[in-house]
Structure 1
Amino acid sequence: MLDFFTCLWSHINSWNWSGVTQSVTGIATLIIAWMALNSWRKQHKAQKVTGLFDELTDSIHELVQALGGPIQQLQFIRISIDSCKYDINLDKSLPHPEEICYIKKEGQESAARLNVQLKECAQPAHKIRSLLVKAQVYDIKSFENCSKYCECIVWQYDRLQVVYSILASDNLNWNHPKAIDFVDHLKNITPEDISAHLKENQIEYIKFVKGIYKKEFDSA
């Protein structure tokens, strides 16, 4: 047994310990470098993701603020439409007499005023949709929920664009089925409904973003 340990010790002493040390040091350096690179990548991704959501949040806030004017304008439009029931020239034979009366009398002017306000909403609305496309690169968990909230917010801008288009169309055949459907859209787009959609989806969006920030910073 003593001969075995003597032989083993002699064998170990014959090793090139300088080379072994260099190899171990090299491997350790590679491991440390890999860990540092991996940490940097996580931090870099976290910065990119949080930066993107910072932009998205700012754009949503900008759009919601800009929509305040068109929503208020829509309130005035609804009041004016309701007032048309007392108009002596109201044609009650039409499917939607009050709406059509308003469009014929004030549609063009009202559409022009609404369009001026909607132009201020265009840039943040387009920015939101652009950022939603960009965000798909990062493979964010449950991002489809965030996208749904954002799209619903932008949809309120689209709905107001529909109102503008209807108001500007004062020369339609109002008995035509498509024209009737057209006015149906106007009846269904109310300031209360738009405001409710904006509020609900902003709340859900903020919840989602808070979760993203926490996850990204915890993993960085």
Structure 2
Amino acid sequence: MAGSEFSALESLASVNWLEVIKTGAAAGTLLVAMSALKNWKRQDRAKREVEFVDSLIEATHKFTADMLAPLIYVQIAKIGMTSHVPQYNHSPLAGAVAYIKKDGGDQAKELRRVMEEAQPSVIRLRSLSTKGQVFQFPGYGDCKRAVDGMATYYDLVEALLTVLGSPSWDWNNPDVQAHLRRVVELDPDEMRKGIKAGNRAVLEFSRETYQRLYA
């Protein structure tokens, strides 16, 4: 037994404990560095996610504000079209054509001006909507659909602008009539409601994302 204990002591004594300590210290330092790197990456990702959500909220609010004027012109055009309907056998399309031939050019100029002012905000909104997919946020699909739906209202007003500015179109052409019918059916009040609903969806997504990141 004594020989065994002596042999064991000799083995321990033969170990280069300084090297063992150095190796252990290096391994510990590496683990700490790896942990710090993971934390930094996690914090950096969270920072970029927060910055994105902040930008999306700002872009949504800017688009909403920029669409106020175009929707007013949609309402004016609707009133003008409707006012001509009784004179044309109560035909909405005939009333719309009469209005476009009479006042469409002037209305198109004013509407084009406010649409050009709103264009940067819809471009920004669509860009962020696409960028958001990169982060793979939980529940982002509903938010993206809401944002894309908001941007569609800009396209609808743009369609009205095209019709107002084209008094010389062949209004008997079936394709032209189909395009005109879509414009006549625009409802500025429903469009405002749709934009508000989009705002609510963005705010709900933002609230849930902030809670997840700061929990």
TM-score when scaled to structure 2?
0.91
145-154 or 21-30, larger mean C-alpha shift: 145-154
Letter in 2 for 1:58: E
Match of 1:172 in 2: 169
Residue 159 of structure 1: which of 156, 161, 164 is its match? 156
- 4+ residue runs over 6 A deviation: none
Residue 101 of structure 2: which of 99, 104, 108 is its match? 104
Q: Is the 8 A contact 1:108 1:167 kept in 2?
A: yes
RMSD between superposed Cα atoms in Å = 1.9
SS at match of 2:76: helix
Match of 1:68 in 2: 68
Q: How does 1:186-197 map to 2 (within 5 A)?
A: 186-197=183-194
Q: Is the 8 A contact 1:46 1:217 kept in 2?
A: no
Matched residues in 2 for 1:124 and 1:138: separation?
A: 22
Shift of 1:9: 3.4
Match of 1:207 in 2: 204
Matched residues in 1 for 2:134 and 2:105: separation?
A: 43
28-37 or 143-152, larger mean C-alpha shift: 143-152
Shift of 1:129: 1.7
Shift of 1:14: 2.2
Letter in 1 for 2:82: D
Q: Is the 8 A contact 1:69 1:117 kept in 2?
A: yes
Matched residues in 2 for 1:169 and 1:193: separation?
A: 25
Letter in 2 for 1:40: W
SS at match of 1:170: coil
2:124 is the counterpart of 1:127: yes
Q: Is the 8 A contact 1:81 1:98 kept in 2?
A: yes
Shift of 1:206: 1.0
User: Mind listing any 5+ residue stretches in structure 1 that lack a counterpart?
Assistant: none
Q: Is the 8 A contact 2:80 2:99 kept in 1?
A: yes
Shift of 1:110: 1.0
The 1:170/1:94 distance shift into structure 2, 3 A limit, reads: farther
Letter in 2 for 1:161: E
Letter in 1 for 2:96: E
TM-score when scaled to structure 1?
0.89
Matched residues in 1 for 2:5 and 2:123: separation?
A: 78
Matched residues in 2 for 1:94 and 1:47: separation?
A: 57
Shift of 1:93: 9.4
55-64 or 5-14, larger mean C-alpha shift: 5-14
Shift of 1:132: 2.7
Letter in 1 for 2:51: G
SS at match of 1:96: helix
User: Mind listing any 5+ residue stretches in structure 2 that lack a counterpart?
Assistant: none
Shift of 1:200: 1.2
Percent identity reads 22
Letter in 2 for 1:152: G
